[in-house]
């Protein structure tokens, strides 16, 4: 096999970049008319099929015809059609009048029927989408096989780019445009045409969605979105507590979620014990509309439960705005004023193109009538010429020569029927010449006067507002910063004990359960190495042999009974290969210290607060020093005595008793510690114990109040007692 070496930069430029540009320009990012290419091709196909005024046709018929413009499969085209329908209900103003099952935007599982069963036609608002498109208002280009023409943009008479929400993911960029109320969009555009320095927020109150719900209005955030095109706002469901049935009924949800997503999350919360007070949750959506019902247990506080659900599910969700729009085949992130400015520029071009088309048509007609006027001055002469001409081919040249008119005018005269050669016809045609001259003069004046064109745009917007405007669907409520609902507010707190075994099992047992049965079930050869008092709201820290700390709350651990084996810790936290737990600490306030004793005689005393984090991080790396082998780790709420053994078991065994208060704390987690015991060459610390773990005749004999020290040798009695005990 022969391999050819190529420069990766050239390969990317030649192969990848064309793909990137194709996705950005021809697929994912909407343009100033508010449509992506797939939408535009579909709607224009329906327009050419006379579906703006005709009756509905099968969706399959539309999909098939659209393939002449859109080189995609029928599935992708039909999915595009579904989103634009009234039945799917994803848009404030649907572009397709539909009949049949098209599913719903708010349901993940409610599937739309096949295209052979459903019927569609263009909605009435499309008359404004295609207005004067036959008058060269927009540029037309060849379709993918060069056999048909299609518009580059649609001449929308209102800023559809703001009225229809749009989302697209390209390569290296994305677009997410929220929808706004048509009335408000028309108002703000009319005012912007008069004065570009207006306060947009005065007329464009806030985004509006077909889903309804409530928008939490934060003026600072909304202004940021309006100014930059980037930002986020919160949407909240509409719900009501029905006292008679002791249930909460949800009738409108944020546009960004689905009923299934909400229900699945609530069920997960119930199963995990993170929320209680719910006996049932079900989807009762029917022909009347969306409805999710949550049945409450007796005694449940509906207000508190609702707050919990809003904080823990997508009943309250965030819409992230990214007003990225293609302008002249280049993506631009724009604020509202920039979008309006670009749309007005586009619309002015459309109207100028339409005026030019009308000027051309009227000029052509005037040209014909001017020729006719010359002939009508001596109609008898024209009749005489035609009668005396021997063949058809000579009629036109003879008329041209006799009346000094061109070929087009002569053709027009020659085709006049004899019945029209009466006095009324002649007078009407002469009057029409004057009217045409006035109209042409007016069109030329308008074409050269941008203010007149802006007045036309304003008049069209007023008409659209009157004809298609509707009241807001999304209610605006003032955003109030509430106390954050945390798990600690939601999950019940109670006293418990944690038991950690040698084989890495953990048991979380409530005190009530432990009083009922305290006899532990353990695996063969397993035994308990730690017993910890804690609460369900305590934060649990797992220190490992790989210098990491894993963190979780006690309520994230399932409740156990003493008669169960407990939970295998590696299944609870994602340990690395060869990693195991060496110490578990439970705390609510991060008071106290971690004390790490190393083989080289150093001890590190680190405040437990060094392991507290503002964010809910699950893992902290480099939790303690790896400079020397760790002999033992302690958690000490307060300073305690510890005993260090150097070269334990040898003739030169040394023992040292100190209180941890003599060790200066270090806030850096990876500190190497303080030298506590002086070391000889090849000496090591072999163990570190607490005084209650060993029996000495006189433990104070080994105490030192300053460090570092070499320690004392064993007394004969202590040595005998200690080694016999071991």
Report, as residue numbers or ranges, the catalytic residues: 117
Contact 705, 675 (CB under 8 A): no
Cα distances (Å, whole numbers) of residue 134 to 154, 161, 585: 11, 22, 76
32 touches 327 (CB < 8 A): yes
Complete DSSP assignment for 613-659: -SS--SEES--S--SS-EEEEEEESS--EEEEEESTTSTT-EEEEEE
The answer to whether the beta carbons of residues 644 and 656 sit under 8 Å apart is yes
- Classified as helix, coil or strand, 530 is strand
- Characterize 69-89 residue by residue with b for buried, 16 or more Cβ atoms within 10 angstroms of its Cβ, and e for exposed: bbeeeeeebbebbbbbbbbbb
Inter-CA distances, 33 with 36, 166, 168, 404, Å: 9, 12, 15, 48
Instruction: State the DSSP string of 456-518.
Output: HHHHHHHHHHHHH----SSEEEE---PPP--HHHHS---EEEEEEETTSEEEEEEHHHHHH--
Q: Is 63 exposed, middle or buried (0-12, 13-18, 19+ CB in 10 A)?
A: buried
Rounded-to-integer distance, Cα 418 and Cα 472, Å: 62
Which residues make Cβ contacts (< 8 Å) with residue 370, sequence separation at least 6? 409, 433
Q: How far apart are CA 690 and CA 699, in angstroms?
A: 11
Distance in Å from the first CA to the final CA of the chain = 70
């Amino acid at each position: 096999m022969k391999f050819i070496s190529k420069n990766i930069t050239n390969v990317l430029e030649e192969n990848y970049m064309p793909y990137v540009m194709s996705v950005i320009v021809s697929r994912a990012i909407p343009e100033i008319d508010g449509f992506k290419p797939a939408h535009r091709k579909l709607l224009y196909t329906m327009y050419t099929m006379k579906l703006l005024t005709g009756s509905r046709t099968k969706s399959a018929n539309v999909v098939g015809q659209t393939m002449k413009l859109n080189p995609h499969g029928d599935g992708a085209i039909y999915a595009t059609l579904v989103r634009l329908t009234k039945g799917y209900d994803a848009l404030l103003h649907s572009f397709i009048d539909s009949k049949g099952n098209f599913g719903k935007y708010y349901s993940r599982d409610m599937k739309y029927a096949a295209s052979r069963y459903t019927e569609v036609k263009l909605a009435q608002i499309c008359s404004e989408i295609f207005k004067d498109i036959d008058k060269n208002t927009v540029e037309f280009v060849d379709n993918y096989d060069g056999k048909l023409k299609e518009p580059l943009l649609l001449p929308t008479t209102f800023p559809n780019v703001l009225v229809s929400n749009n989302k697209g993911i390209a390569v290296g960029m994305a677009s997410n445009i929220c929808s706004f109320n048509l009335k408000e969009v028309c108002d703000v555009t009319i005012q912007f045409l008069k004065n570009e320095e207006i306060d947009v927020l005065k007329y464009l109150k806030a985004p509006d969605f077909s889903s309804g719900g409530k928008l939490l209005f934060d003026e600072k955030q909304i202004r940021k979105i309006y100014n930059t095109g980037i930002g986020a706002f919160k949407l909240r469901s509409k719900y009501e507590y029905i006292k008679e049935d002791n249930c909460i009924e949800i009738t409108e949800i944020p546009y960004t979620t689905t009923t299934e997503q909400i229900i699945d999350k609530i069920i997960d919360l119930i199963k995990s014990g993170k929320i209680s007070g719910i006996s049932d949750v079900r989807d009762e959506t029917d022909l009347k509309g969306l409805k999710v019902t949550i049945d409450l247990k007796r005694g449940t506080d509906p207000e508190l439960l609702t707050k919990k659900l809003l904080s823990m599910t997508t009943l309250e969700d965030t819409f992230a705005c990214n007003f990225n729009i293609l302008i002249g085949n280049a993506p631009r992130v724009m604020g509202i004023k920039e979008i309006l400015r670009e749309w007005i520029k586009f619309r002015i071009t459309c109207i100028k193109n339409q005026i030019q088309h009308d000027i051309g048509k009227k000029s052509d007609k005037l040209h014909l009538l001017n020729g006719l006027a010359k002939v009508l001055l001596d109609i008898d002469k024209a009749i005489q010429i035609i009668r005396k001409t021997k063949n058809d081919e000579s009629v036109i040249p003879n008329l041209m020569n006799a009346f000094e008119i061109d070929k087009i005018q002569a053709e027009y005269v020659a085709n006049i029927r004899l019945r029209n050669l009466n006095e009324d016809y002649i007078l009407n045609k002469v009057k029409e010449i004057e009217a045409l001259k006035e109209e042409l003069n007016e069109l030329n004046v308008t074409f050269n006067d941008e203010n007149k064109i802006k007045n036309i745009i304003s008049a069209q917007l007023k008409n659209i507002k009157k004809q298609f405007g509707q009241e807001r669907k999304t209610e605006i409520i003032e955003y109030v910063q509430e106390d954050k609902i945390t798990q600690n507010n939601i999950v019940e707190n109670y006293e418990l004990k944690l038991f950690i075994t040698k084989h890495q099992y953990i048991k979380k047992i409530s005190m009530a359960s432990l009083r009922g049965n305290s006899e532990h079930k353990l695996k063969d050869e397993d035994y308990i190495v730690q017993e910890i008092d804690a609460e369900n709201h305590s934060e649990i820290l797992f220190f490992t042999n790989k210098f990491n700390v894993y963190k979780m709350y006690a309520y994230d651990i399932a409740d156990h009974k003493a008669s169960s084996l407990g939970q295998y810790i590696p299944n609870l936290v994602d340990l690395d290969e060869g990693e195991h737990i060496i110490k578990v600490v439970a705390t609510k306030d991060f008071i106290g210290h971690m004390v790490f004793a190393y083989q080289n005689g150093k001890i590190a005393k680190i405040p437990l607060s060094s392991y507290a984090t503002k964010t809910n991080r699950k893992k902290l790396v480099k939790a303690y020093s790896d400079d020397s082998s760790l002999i033992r780790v302690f958690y000490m709420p307060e300073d305690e005595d510890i005993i260090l053994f150097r070269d334990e078991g040898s003739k030169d065994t040394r023992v040292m008793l100190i209180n941890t208060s003599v060790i200066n704390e270090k806030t850096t987690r990876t500190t190497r510690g303080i030298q506590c015991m002086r070391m000889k060459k090849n000496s090591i610390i072999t163990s570190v114990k607490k005084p209650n773990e060993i029996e000495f005749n006189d433990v104070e004999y080994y105490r030192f109040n300053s460090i570092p020290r070499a320690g004392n040798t064993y007394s004969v009695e202590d040595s005998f007692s200690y080694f016999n005990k071991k």
